[in-house]
Structures are given as C-alpha cells and as structure tokens.
Structure 1
C-alpha cells in the first residue's frame, strides 16, 4: 500500500517456524526502492531461537538484532511523524518495546507491506492479522503510544 510519510502501521505476525528454517520470518516493510527501505522481522536466527531483527538499507544494509521471543507471535509496529521513524514490538498489543529509532529521510510517499521470507529453506508461511494502517503517529516515541 502507498502511504504518506506520516503513519502508523500495526500488525500481528505469526510465522510458521520450523527447525530447518534459519532466517525464516514474518516481515513488515517500509520501502522506497531497492536501495532505500527498512524491514522488521520476527525470525528464526542461527541458534534456532526466535528474535526481532530490523534491517535498514540506505545503499548498504545493516542488521540490528533484538530480543529473543519465546511465544509464536508478536505484534509489530512501524511509525513516522515525518521527522523520525520508529519500530516496536509487543507480546500483548498493549506494552510496546522499541527496537529501532532513526531520522526519517524517506521520500514524501513510501510503500508499506508485509511478507514471509525464506532465504535458506524451500518454503515458509506467515500469518498476518489485525492489520491496522493509520495516518497518525504516537505521542511518546520511547513508549510507542
């Protein structure tokens, strides 16, 4: 979906994690082009645990690995007030934990979306529920509400 640079997108993501599925993930994106985007993933990492990861690409990509999550789903949120982009996750859709915050240098209009990623295995699925796009930001970036 194409949206203005002032937004909040919240999604409940339940990936189908399997033992051989390293880096399989449910993913939430903001995207301008192939060299300018961010993805927020709930993935299986190298040690077989599930964790939150953000990757920001601005020419080259960086990985920012975050908390290990024991339950099989998370709520993820990405938002912007036009000046700042922030990413969060929640186990209960009430209490939000920030995983990334940076200056918004995206164009006026960006794409948002979701996907399942499966870079090393044959296939995977992820379930996306409670998708809530909104044209508002939060009042407290640190708390995510």
Structure 2
C-alpha cells in the first residue's frame, strides 16, 4: 500500500517525481534510481522548489519536475542526432566525413518518420535537417 503524505499544494514526493521523469523519458525499468538521486540531491540544495517535509523526506514542485523531465528528454534527443558540422575543408578531412546524397535522403526520411511519430520535436528535426544539408553540400564542394 502506498503511503500518502499531506504535502503542500502543487508539491510531490521525490519518488513520485522520479516516476514522472521515468514516464516522460519512456524508461521501461521502473526501479531506475538514476534520476531519483539527481532529484533528491537537487531538492536538498533547494532546486525544483525542494523543501524538507518531516525529518527525512523532501517534497518538490511538480511543475519544476515536469520541466526537468522535458529538458532531459530534449537533451537525449539531441544526443541521438548529434551530427558534427564543419565549415572548413581542412577540418572536414580530419574530423567529419561527408554524406553522400543517398544517405542524406535516407536520413531525412528517417527524421521525418521520427517527427511524424513525435519521437523528436520540430526544433530537433530542423537542426538535424540543417546539419544533413551542410554535410551533403560539403561533399559536393570537394568534387
């Protein structure tokens, strides 16, 4: 049986906050404590509207936790499609390989698919699209 606390309006416990973050990030392992520890450490420092409740428990503001979860989701999505972009050909030869037109087209199709199913946001879609265009144009400049 889940224990209920008389929290301030708009506040939730740290375990409930962890469950919200896991749900937003679509993490299957419900016993994952990675965000729990981050939220608890932040609540102890006063982040997320953290306040001590009783002698051992902390409460956090629900809106702040939702904002934290959305920020983490956006960071995860950006890391999935982090394509390095270069502007000079010297850097290009050393760091990044250009994308051939067929690969660029396939990447664009996959990105549109992810956007359609709301796996990525519009901002991430446009940023990745821009990076694909830049990398495919770099190869055309070399030819």
Give the TM-score, by structure 1 length: 0.23
Q: Which has more helix, going by share of residues?
A: 2
Which of the two has greater strand per residue? 1
Structure of higher RCO (CA pairs closer than 8 Å, 6+ residues apart): 1
**TM-score when normalising by structure 2:** 0.23
Larger radius of gyration: 2
